[in-house]
Structure 1
């Protein structure tokens, strides 16, 4: 395991070093769990009270926070604690699993598939007809990429992921375990005789931009026609559903258990909180935020924050909740 002096770490982070420690730092840890060889972070003033009792030899701290380091302990003051910690975590990030050979002999690769230089394909992978993998693509064991799909340079796809036919995946993407790309959209209509359901064929595909990360067990369904689109730089958490013909702009965030129904449109930089649900054919314009657990039934203006079920302006919703609490108190007083 690598270790660094506090001065080496400060040089990398370009912070302001307050105090000093002779302890070699072997990794970051939470302030209450840290040992003497750990560096921690204090992201807000509410964690200051834990510093005196913490065993950590050093901490990252915001420039605006005033605190003494203590004996043989150090502070690194930075402009953004979270971003500095991200840089620090890169130093201690363990290596990814090693491929003994580039293409495992149990992988099934169709003779028409085009495999770029430096690709790594793990055990029991399936690469279908006319698939094109760019340079440096990594497929961990048990990944399936079906016919006529293209995957851009340096994309990493973890075990259990299935990418269905005719999908287009950008460069430098990361798909975590058991992601589903291009499954049929959910489309049914009642039969004329009322005795069953007719499945609507889903003949479109999925287009995913560059630098997209999709968490484990999330699904992006193919379009009924044309494409379901995930824009460049989008970050999608675990257990997220993106339905057929939805379109996500650039750098959107979707937290776990959230979902888009069919034909939803997100502008650039939209944030969808955990367990939020978005009604079909709804547009959420650029820069808007949907708070966790909310249900969006109507279009959301650019830059607006909505909350509740059904979702509305967050400030109005909070006022309503406060008013309800007051009514409950009044009722108890009267009773």
Structure 2
């Protein structure tokens, strides 16, 4: 799968020598290849370049169908036999340079209302800017000074407030976005280099399904390569952060100041109390609850309620809290 052409402009494929120049690496296994895209190890094909920066992805590297792999010197023997191997001491940063070259973002060029609105029932308040290729469905109202990026698709009967920005996103029907919401900004991705960290291009999208509500000044980042998805009828309070590649289920409730790190999977009917924090790459089961102020560092099974920092099942947390209070009181006595 290549990045969505509504949001990223495909560049001409590049030959191996040009690819090596971009990466600054060294070829240790050469075949004739032409590279048209970047991809993850799991999704790469013969026209894609992928990278491995950590040995915990050794199995994924060995199974990859990438045409070219960027690896550190210690991982050359782990690379698949059919792939060109380029050695780099900074493989993720090298991959980022290739990604920026092959998949530049579509530049915002304002389009006319007639070109983007489904019919005359769409209302664009003063100062709205809509990029080329965007589409806005029947009965949707867009508040003043909102910016809708190129290629964005917005469904019917949506309510978008003032000062919202939407980019790299597909929005369903009956979605509400309150003032200052930021949908589709780049996720937090950086690669280390000898000269300091560099940004890694974020090539995915945000998908908001039907009936989603996003509160004022909340941020939902687009995926690093795949999508960030918020399921039907999920309600998000003000000042909530959802990181890249998160999958949020249906009918979830996220109270203010909740922060969800990247690549978290949340089931249906999950509730987050205010200021809940969730570490990356975790899974939260259907019907689970994360108490206000909790700091989650482990998966939650379906239906359980966790609290505290680090968060744990609430009964365990309460027992430990009672025991600790008793110890303190004993010392006072």
- Pair 1:251 & 2:254 matched: no
Q: Distance in 2 between matches of 1:119 and 1:149?
A: 15
Task: Tell me the equivalent position of 1:134.
Answer: 137
Q: Is the 8 A contact 1:247 1:266 kept in 2?
A: yes
Q: Where do residues 1-335 of structure 1 align in structure 2 (5 Å cutoff)?
A: 109=112, 112-165=115-168, 167-191=169-193, 193=194, 195-333=195-333
| Unmatched 5+ stretches in structure 1 | 1-106
CA distance in 2, matches of 1:117, 1:250: 32
User: How far off is 1:316 after superposition?
Assistant: 0.8
Q: Secondary structure at the match of 1:183?
A: coil
Distance 2:187 2:279 in 1: 15
Q: Which has the larger radius of gyration?
A: 1
Where 2:322 maps in the other structure, the secondary structure is helix
> Does structure 1 retain, via aligned residues, the 8 Å contact 2:142–2:160?
yes
Q: Please give the alpha-carbon distance, in whole angstroms, between the structure 1 residues aligned to 2:252 and 2:114.
A: 37
Conserved? CA contact 2:133–2:150, under 8 Å: yes
Cα distance in 1 for partners of 2:201, 2:112 equals 28
CA drift at 1:321: 0.5
Q: Measure, in 2, the Cα distance between the counterparts of 1:113 and 1:213.
A: 23
Distance 1:254 1:227 in 2: 19
SS of the aligned residue for 2:184 comes to strand
SS in 1 for 2:316: helix
| C-alpha spacing 1:286/1:273, structure 2 compared with 1 (3 Å) | same
Structure-1 separation of matches of 2:123 and 2:217: 22
Aligned to 1:85: none
Q: Which contiguous aligned blocks of 4+ residues in structure 1 show a shift greater than 4 angstroms?
A: none
CA distance in 1, matches of 2:157, 2:117: 15
For residues 266 and 112 of structure 2, what CA distance do their matches in structure 1 show?
36
- Deviation of 1:116 after TM superposition, in Å, equals 3.1
SS at match of 1:329: helix
Residues of 1 paired with 2:142 and 2:127: CA distance?
A: 10
The equivalent of 2:19 in structure 1 is none
- 8 Å CA contact 1:144, 1:163 repeated in 2: yes
Compute the displacement of 1:190 (Å).
1.1
Aligned length: 224
Separation in structure 1 between the aligned mates of residue 112 and residue 325 of structure 2, nearest angstrom: 63
Task: Say if 1:117 and 1:134, in contact at 8 Å, map to a contact too.
Answer: no
Select the structure with the greater relative contact order (CA < 8 A; seq sep ≥ 6): 2
Q: How far apart, in 2, do the equivalents of 1:299 and 1:196 lie?
A: 32
| Residues 130 and 108 of structure 1: CA distance in aligned 2, closer, same or farther (over 3 Å) | closer
Indicate if the aligned counterparts of 1:108 and 1:125 stay in contact, CA closer than 8 A: no
Secondary structure of the 2:220 match is strand
Using the size of structure 1 for normalisation, the TM-score is 0.65
Take 2:113 and 2:211, find their aligned partners in 1: how far apart are those partners? 27
Q: Please report the TM-score for the alignment, with normalisation by the length of structure 2.
A: 0.66
Post-superposition shift, 1:226? Answer: 1.5
Q: Please give the alpha-carbon distance, in whole angstroms, between the structure 1 residues aligned to 2:309 and 2:330.
A: 25
**Structure 2 gap segments, 5+ residues each:** 1-109
Shift of 1:324: 0.6
Q: CA deviation at 1:109?
A: 3.1
RMSD: 1.3
Q: What SS does the aligned partner of 1:309 have?
A: coil
Distance 2:220 2:170 in 1: 12
* 8 Å Cα contact 2:294-2:311 kept in structure 1: yes
In 1: Cα distance, 2:250 partner to 2:113 partner: 34
